[in-house]
Structure 1
Amino acid sequence: MSEEQALVPSLRFPEFRDSGEWVVKKLGDKDISSFVKKRVSVNNLELDSYVSTENILPDFGGIKGASKLPPSGSFTSYKPEDILIANIRPYLKKIWVADRNGAASNDVVVVRPMKGIIGSFLSSLLRSDSFIDYVMKGAKGVKMPRGDVSLMKEYSLAVPCPKEQKKIADCLSLLGALISAQAEKLDALKTHKKGLMQQLFPREGEINPRLRFLRKETWDIANLSEVTFFQEGPGIMAVDFRDEGVPLVRLAGVSGEVVTLDGCNYLDPEKVAQKWSHFRLKINDLVISTSATFGLIAIVTNETADAVFYTGLIRFRPRCDMLYLGYLKAFLGSPCFKRQAAAAAVGGGIKHFGPTHLKQMDIPLPSVAEQQKMAGCLSSLDTLIAAHTEKLDALKAHKKGLMQQLFPSPEAVSA
């Protein structure tokens, strides 16, 4: 095999550049891993060590504590350094490296590293998009795809010498620790905002909030329809969609701070003029999702002004000078609004509320000066959260790019 064809990564630590090729192995090889079959009874389960698909976090994010234990059954035993793979909807990337002894549900595959590979190196290989993509190709089922364990065992991986394995694993572990620390900072900021919102708006049955910027007067209460204009988007049939024309904003377009054209469809401009011109968005409209993913809020900017918005989305704007736009946005994300929306929502599996329910809701109204102070405070916090989110995304992207260089490509390994 020529040097160009050698099975080596594109980026290699200097001390290993002359160490030769990596060796191709299968995940199911006896010297690489064991798929644990040892079972324990329900009597051996404990909340702090029970793992199911529900408490493994997505995007390789670790685990959270189990909320309850199953009443019966048998479960797969695991121990520290075992790799636990949630086998329902593998695309969620729910993989955790155990740091304790415990037991896992039947929908979690437990992989134990063997003597032919360092555990932290194997976990780096499996906590990757390459492995997830491979599992998804063999997954069965549409709504709840399940990975094929027999195919997992056939997954090809390239293995260097133990010293190089450790070097790579240590490098990725340090980067993983940075990512975890950044994620904790972000979670702390979000938790702080949640707690702040609970104090900045009146609790149920109260008129004034616990935390005030100005203490001059008691807050007023107004019917939401008196001080805001709101409108739900029209239901438009797929037959009306076009390859170009007037954008139709959908749920994916309100997943961030501003409304975007992500996932949008397009409508014929003439038909929009005839039937849906009164549904065209204006700059500074607030758009909120009201079904499926409930409560997403985004603001309209130049990019999406004049677009039409779809059913399941409702736009808001202040109707009078006594309501400040930034305060309205804060209210729509507050426990005060969510409590009323949850009480009004209808539907079985997917809850939904619309203009009819909004007309029954109230909004607490402090003075405009206090509204502005509240909005400024929360806007500053949102800016900080956005900056930390961007930093976390950058770290994750850096790790992903680094892994693509530190390991041979999947195509080279499978060749």
Structure 2
Amino acid sequence: MVPKGWERKALDEVSNVIDCKHRTPKYVGSGIPLVSPGTIKWGAIDLESPTKRVTTEEYESLMDHCTVEYGDLVLSRNQSVGIASFVDSDKPFVLGQDTVLVKPKGSDPRFLFYNLQSIDTQKTIFKLAGGSTFSRINLGDIRKLKAIYPPLAEQQKIAKILSTWDKAISTTERLIENSTQQKKALMQQLLTGKKRLLDDEGKRFEGEWEEVKLSAVAQITMGSSPKSEAYNDVGDGLPLLQGNADIKNRKSAPRIYTSQITKECHIGDILFSVRAPVGTVAISNHHACIGRGIAAIKVKKNYSQDFLYQWLLSFETKWERYSQGSTFEAVNSNDIKSLNLSVPNPNEQQKIATVLTNADNEIELLEQQLADLQQEKKALMQVLLTGKKRVVVDGEGV
């Protein structure tokens, strides 16, 4: 049902939908960026990431049929079908194949942008693309996309409200990125001894760190897979952790159970992925059975579990270097046991672990705030873009 004062219109009634030129240009090392479906994301158009670039002559040839302006949208026709980027820059770019330019006419650009994101529009696009986000949608179907549109003033107010949420989301994303980079810098300084913390008496820690192999500081249990007929989803036996699919947000997240118990991990153990991608680490929050894709690591006396977890986190990206240029598809127990690391005394280990764990907690809190904002925006879009909740055009608020 169309709300009072709203109208159902096709996309080509509220915008000009302009196709790209269907030819592959000659690419150059540096030049004007080409925006392709793979580089289109919800949000401001990204002109930094595209690696495909063309000369000024190619740009003029490929873009002589249209002029891109602030507020236009670039929509993907394949790969991530129906995703659009908002043009908020006057920098030139080329429309790559399977992209279209959407130029609003008589409609608010931001409202149109949010309307394309709406649940109803995305469901329609998904259906027209053959039920796959990696299929393809025809140009004619794009132009005929139907949606409901309020008067322009109401469009502008809705867009303003949703833009406020987007700004909060972008701010939180930047905070997460900054906090993540700061944590990486801390790991580099603290886990190598380049920066020493203060002890309980306020004095800087001193002394040489101990050079050891991982097997000297921890007990390593390699997983062993139960027989497949022992798998179940009714809770019979123990949860089964088989690999990266059973690790989410640095915690164990088992999907099935097994009635045959082979090797086990316990709550608080470090989980280590031994198959591609090798080296992913997490903390187990389950007493579980571990399959061949997982190893469980528990420190020995006088060593800090939290310190070792942080050290293994810092090593996640170094497996390729460790293997002298070849990418591991799997590692065995000797590969893991032979890892060399430097460890300070137990008190300094714990101090370092506390600082880095606090940094993780701050990032986790920001990530939860981001998830909450995204969910709130999604719910708000659902009621505002359908007219279930009307805005006060001449006042403030919803």
TM category (shorter chain) comes to 0.7 to 0.9
Q: Which amino acid aligns with 2:15?
A: I
SS for the counterpart of 1:216 is coil
SS for the counterpart of 1:80 is coil
- Indicate which of 236, 240, 247 corresponds to 1:248: 240
Q: Which amino acid aligns with 2:340?
A: D
Question: Which residue is equivalent to 1:265?
Answer: 256
Question: Which residue is equivalent to 2:20?
Answer: 37
How many angstroms does 1:260 deviate by? 2.7
Aligned partners of 2:241 and 2:230: how far apart in 1? Answer: 14
Question: Which residue is equivalent to 2:295?
Answer: 314
| 8 Å contact kept, 2:44–2:86 | no
- Indicate which of 170, 173, 185 corresponds to 2:160: 170
How many angstroms does 1:196 deviate by? 1.4
Aligned partners of 1:312 and 1:345: how far apart in 2? Answer: 22
Aligned partners of 1:294 and 1:133: how far apart in 2? Answer: 37
Structure 1 unaligned segments of length 5 or more: list them.
1-5, 9-19, 203-208, 411-415
SS for the counterpart of 2:252 is coil
| 8 Å contact kept, 1:90–1:135 | no
Question: Which residue is equivalent to 2:351?
Answer: 373
Question: Which residue is equivalent to 2:391?
Answer: none
Change in 2 beyond 3 A, CA 1:346/1:42: closer
| 8 Å contact kept, 2:17–2:143 | no
Aligned partners of 2:100 and 2:14: how far apart in 1? Answer: 16
Change in 2 beyond 3 A, CA 1:50/1:162: same
Q: Which amino acid aligns with 1:313?
A: I
Question: Which residue is equivalent to 1:333?
Answer: 313
Aligned partners of 2:229 and 2:32: how far apart in 1? Answer: 52
Report the more deviating stretch, 43-52 or 80-89. 43-52
| 8 Å contact kept, 1:291–1:352 | yes
How many angstroms does 1:178 deviate by? 1.1
Trace 1:74-223 onto structure 2 (pairs within 5 A). 78-90=68-80, 95-100=84-89, 101-104=91-94, 106=96, 109-139=99-129, 145-150=134-139, 151-202=141-192, 209-213=193-197, 214-223=204-213
Change in 2 beyond 3 A, CA 1:137/1:291: farther
Question: Which residue is equivalent to 2:333?
Answer: 355
Question: Which residue is equivalent to 2:10?
Answer: 26
| 8 Å contact kept, 2:189–2:195 | yes
How many angstroms does 1:222 deviate by? 0.7
Residue deviations 1:186-214 (CA, integer Å, cap 9, x gap):
11101111111122233xxxxxx321224
Change in 2 beyond 3 A, CA 1:49/1:79: farther
Question: Which residue is equivalent to 2:394?
Answer: none
Question: Which residue is equivalent to 1:11?
Answer: none
Aligned partners of 1:48 and 1:253: how far apart in 2? Answer: 43
Q: Which amino acid aligns with 1:403?
A: M
Structure 2 unaligned segments of length 5 or more: list them.
198-203, 389-398
Question: Which residue is equivalent to 1:388?
Answer: 366
SS for the counterpart of 1:171 is helix
Question: Which residue is equivalent to 1:16?
Answer: none
Aligned partners of 1:45 and 1:342: how far apart in 2? Answer: 28
For the aligned residue pairs, the C-alpha RMSD in angstroms reads 3.4
Residue deviations 1:219-263 (CA, integer Å, cap 9, x gap):
1111112221223333456544223223213534322143233xx
Aligned partners of 1:329 and 1:399: how far apart in 2? Answer: 35
SS for the counterpart of 1:117 is coil
TM-score (norm 1): 0.77
Aligned partners of 1:339 and 1:369: how far apart in 2? Answer: 27
How many angstroms does 1:89 deviate by? 4.0
Aligned partners of 1:231 and 1:48: how far apart in 2? Answer: 53
SS for the counterpart of 1:333 is helix
Q: Which amino acid aligns with 2:361?
A: T
How many angstroms does 1:23 deviate by? 1.4
SS for the counterpart of 1:218 is coil
How many angstroms does 1:43 deviate by? 7.4
| 8 Å contact kept, 2:209–2:343 | yes
How many angstroms does 1:125 deviate by? 1.2
Q: Which amino acid aligns with 1:182?
A: T
Aligned partners of 2:279 and 2:342: how far apart in 1? Answer: 19
In the alignment, is residue 343 of structure 1 matched against residue 322 of structure 2? yes
Change in 2 beyond 3 A, CA 1:233/1:79: farther
TM-score (norm 2): 0.80
How many angstroms does 1:62 deviate by? 5.9
Aligned partners of 1:347 and 1:236: how far apart in 2? Answer: 30
| 8 Å contact kept, 2:20–2:97 | no
Question: Which residue is equivalent to 1:7?
Answer: 2
How many angstroms does 1:149 deviate by? 3.2
- Indicate which of 391, 396, 402 corresponds to 2:380: 402
Change in 2 beyond 3 A, CA 1:281/1:141: same
Change in 2 beyond 3 A, CA 1:344/1:136: farther
